[in-house]
């Protein structure tokens, strides 16, 4: 089985199909009242644009629901072929949220159609001098009903058995670009976090770090797309494990959070960081102790001590395919943010220095254990602190 098919076996494709009535019509020359001597430019030079038939605010609910559906898919997936590739493990929760949105859309549609005629009349009253050009362009309720729809489609993607080599390569190239798209989307979210929640702040609350948790969950769910994702997730887990249960975050911890966010804001640096962490992991050491051969006590004393075998580096193929998505949509409705990219060289240096320090500390600890003939490795699990917090103000995941 090819690497491409291995990826396709772990995902589904969700297509969100939302049609929203525009309530616009082309603006004609006859709709304009020109002063004497005025002249319009020819059509090949400029177009007149369009005219609104009712208050656009009445349609805002449908646009909001459509964007909400896209955010839900992007929360755990990435864009692909006009839809969203989503891990199979998250499919049930994603479709449940889309069903809820479909219900909200249907209810809003009924309310809009019931009040459509009144909305048009209100618009003409608001613009009495142009009531004539509005009235001549009004669409019927039946027509508007056909232009307000919401649905979604869930399909699996697979390589056909009979397909020209050129077409197979084209699809494989598309699949290969998924990780690049994923890192780009992560960078957008991280940039927004840096610009709006971290830069220039002396302290922040736990709520400000919700985007970090969402980024971590998305990377973890899509880790099979790129082997460099797993160590980046481990870095974020280590950071989240340091967040206090309550109170503000400041000082060195806030600087480490900023450094991590700035690193994630640069797709290239994020990939290089993950690759560097994988390369820095020591290889597993195989010793005679791993075999079933009995060794005489005297011979055992004569054998030189051997460092304990370290666990193998985590790569994409060993990442669990069934991540926990129980808190999938916490904070999904946070306000959208916009920002520009910030310089990340300092962030990369901070994290690499931190990682080098951790490697030296672990190496010293291994030598101490060797001298005491304690060869049993310790497994450290980093994750979220799930202790109960009596205060809702700072509880964020």
Q: What is the dihedral of CA 94, 148, 337, 98, to 10 degrees?
A: -10
What was the pLDDT predicted at 69?
96
Token pair in block for residue 31:
């709709």
β-bridge mates for residue 204, sequence order = 249
Alpha-carbon distances, residue 367 vs 182, 231, 312, 375, 392 (angstroms)? 40, 24, 19, 10, 45
Alpha helices in 115-160, H assignment, sequence order: 116-126, 131-135, 141-146
Question: What span, in angstroms and rounded, lies between the C-alpha atoms of 282 and 309?
Answer: 10
- Mapped onto helix, strand or coil, the DSSP state of residue 254 is helix
What was the pLDDT predicted at 307?
37
pTM: 0.65
Question: What span, in angstroms and rounded, lies between the C-alpha atoms of 53 and 51?
Answer: 7
What was the pLDDT predicted at 43?
62
What was the pLDDT predicted at 376?
40
What was the pLDDT predicted at 112?
95
Q: Split the chain (397 residues) into runs of 10 and give each run's mean pLDDT.
A: 80 93 78 61 68 90 95 92 91 95 96 94 90 87 94 87 80 85 92 90 87 92 89 91 88 91 91 84 52 41 39 38 49 44 48 54 50 40 38 39
What was the pLDDT predicted at 327?
53
Question: What span, in angstroms and rounded, lies between the C-alpha atoms of 87 and 100?
Answer: 20
What was the pLDDT predicted at 38?
63
- Residue extents of the structural domains in the chain: 3-30+47-155, 177-371
Token pair in block for residue 191:
């940039």
What was the pLDDT predicted at 116?
94
Token pair in block for residue 84:
């969203």
Alpha helices in 281-344, H assignment, sequence order: 297-302
């Amino acid at each position: 089985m090819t690497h491409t098919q291995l990826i396709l076996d772990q995902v589904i494709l969700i297509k969100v199909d939302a049609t929203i009535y525009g309530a616009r019509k082309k603006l004609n020359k006859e709709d304009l009242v020109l002063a004497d001597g005025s002249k319009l430019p020819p059509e090949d030079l400029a177009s007149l644009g369009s005219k609104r038939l009712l208050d656009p605010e009445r349609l805002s609910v449908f646009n909001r629901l459509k964007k909400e559906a896209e955010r839900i898919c992007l929360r755990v997936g990435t864009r692909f072929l006009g839809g969203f590739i989503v891990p199979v493990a998250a499919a049930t929760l994603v479709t449940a949220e889309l069903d809820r949105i479909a219900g909200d859309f249907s209810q809003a549609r009924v309310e809009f159609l019931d009040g459509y005629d009144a909305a048009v009349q209100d618009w003409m009253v608001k613009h009495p001098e142009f009531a004539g050009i509005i009235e001549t362009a009004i669409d019927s309720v039946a027509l508007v009903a056909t232009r307000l729809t919401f649905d979604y489609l869930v399909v699996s993607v697979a390589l056909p058995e009979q397909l020209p080599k050129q077409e197979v390569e084209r699809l494989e190239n598309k699949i290969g670009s998924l990780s690049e798209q994923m890192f780009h989307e992560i960078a957008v979210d991280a940039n927004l976090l840096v610009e709006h929640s971290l830069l220039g702040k002396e302290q922040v609350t736990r709520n400000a770090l919700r985007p970090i948790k969402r980024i971590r969950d998305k990377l973890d769910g899509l880790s099979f797309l790129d082997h460099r994702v797993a160590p980046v997730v481990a870095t974020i887990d280590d950071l989240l494990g340091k967040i206090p249960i309550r109170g503000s975050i400041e000082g060195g911890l806030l600087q480490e959070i900023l450094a991590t966010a700035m690193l994630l804001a640069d797709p290239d640096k994020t990939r290089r960081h993950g690759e560097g962490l994988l390369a820095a992991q020591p290889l597993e050491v195989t010793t005679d102790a791993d075999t079933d051969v009995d060794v005489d006590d005297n011979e055992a004393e004569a054998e030189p001590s051997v460092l304990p075998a370290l666990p193998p580096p985590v790569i994409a193929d060993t990442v669990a395919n069934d991540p926990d998505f129980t808190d999938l949509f916490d904070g999904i409705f946070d306000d959208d943010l916009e920002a520009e990219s910030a310089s990340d060289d300092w962030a990369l240096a901070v994290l690499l220095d931190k990682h080098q320090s951790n490697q030296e500390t672990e190496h010293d600890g291994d030598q101490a254990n060797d001298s005491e003939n304690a060869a049993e490795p310790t497994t450290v699990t980093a994750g979220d602190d799930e202790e109960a917090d009596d205060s809702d103000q700072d509880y964020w995941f």
